[in-house]
Amino acid sequence: MVTAVDFRRMLHRVAAAGVAAALVAAPLGGQESDVEQLLAKATRYSIDFVEKLSTVVAEESYVQNSTVALETVAIPGLRGRGAPGMSGPRESSKHRELKADFLIVKTSGEVWTPFRDVFEVDHIPIRDRSERLAKLFLNAKRDASAEEQAKAIAEESGRYNLGAVERTINNPVFALVILQPDVRTRFKFTAGKPDRKLGENVRVVEYVEEGRPTVIAGRPGEDMPAFGRFWIEASSGRVIKAELRVDVPDVKANITTTFRSDQRLGIDVPNEFREEYDLHGSRVSGVASYSRYRKFDVKSSEELSPPAPDAEQPK
């Protein structure tokens, strides 16, 4: 758990898509390099990816482990313990399993924000399986109070992490912020070593953050520059895999997401998210997998109508 990390800039305005070509495809010396052309495609793809994902809810299965016992919130109702709120009973553990609904939405200020709503902790249900986030965000009459309610749900869910803190980079699409037009200019991109494991048409692009202040913030005044790689399909700009790393005194972090196509919905979606943190001599890791993607529609009667759950997708 990276307690000092703050998600300063989340996936930015889709309105930028209209000027993306001008921002990412400007030729240098009259001719673009292969990396620049590839990034131009990947930037357009990432904007479209998040736009399509924003009306889709997934079921997230999230397993967390630590080399040392960490404080966490007791499970509500388990042997009479646990209660809502940060003042609830605590316990220590090296292992935690969470199941949640995961949703990305455009909130006020045109910012894309991820939300989790945990419904099961260590195989014990902590609430009913109502689609709370979908009902808040996809209702035609959504107002500011919906965002406040969703924020409260996300904060409540975050308390069940090992360490009982709300992490801010444990998000399967976090790395895609680097491809957004107004963020990309802060990074230096170079061609990486070929990696044929993901396909002959896949190119690796490495990046290092040069701009300040950094996208990820630590303690007040502390920059945490990011670096990593993207695996990009050369013909389409599809991001097949994304890696983001941080390595500063006392904190090391590595988050990696693989993506796949959901044939039923006709869109690309996160498949698996992996994270590793080295903090003051301890190591925390997590693996999240995503299934049961379903798209919600708002009827004229303003009632949400989810389709029947789809069959499990291959992982």
Which pLDDT tens digit goes with each residue over 108-161? 666 778 889 999 999 999 887 777 877 777 654 556 677 788 888 888 888 889
**Taking a C-beta distance cutoff of 8 angstroms, is the pair 291, 54 a contact?**
no
Give a yes or no: residue 254 inside a domain: yes
Give a yes or no: residue 119 inside a domain: yes
Number of domains in the chain: 1
Give a yes or no: residue 222 inside a domain: yes
Give a yes or no: residue 308 inside a domain: no
Pairing of strands 216-217, 187-191: unpaired
Residues whose CB falls within 8 Å of the CB of residue 70, separated by 6 or more in sequence, listed in order: 1, 92, 93, 94, 162, 163, 164, 282, 284
**Taking a C-beta distance cutoff of 8 angstroms, is the pair 279, 263 a contact?**
no
3-class DSSP state of 242? strand
Give a yes or no: residue 19 inside a domain: yes
The reported pLDDT for the residue numbered 203 is 96
Query: pLDDT tens-digit profile of 39-90?
Result: 999 999 999 999 899 889 999 999 999 999 998 888 865 443 333 443 456 7
Give a yes or no: residue 306 inside a domain: no
Structural domain boundaries, residue 279 = 6-295
Mean pLDDT of 251-263: 96
The reported pLDDT for the residue numbered 22 is 27
Mean pLDDT of 273-284: 90
The reported pLDDT for the residue numbered 179 is 95
Listing from the earlier edge strand, what are the strands of the sheet with 90-107? 124-125, 111-121, 90-107, 56-73, 282-295, 267-279, 251-262, 239-248, 226-233, 202-209, 187-191
% of residues, the chain, pLDDT over 70: 74
Give a yes or no: residue 312 inside a domain: no
Give a yes or no: residue 300 inside a domain: no
Q: Cα separation of 228 and 177, whole Å?
A: 13
pTM recorded for the entire structure:
0.81
Task: Name the band, by pLDDT with cuts 50, 70 and 90, for residue 99.
Answer: very high
- State phi, psi for 48 to the nearest 5 degrees: -65, -35
pLDDT beyond 50 at 12: no
pLDDT beyond 70 at 315: no
Q: Cα separation of 1 and 253, whole Å?
A: 9
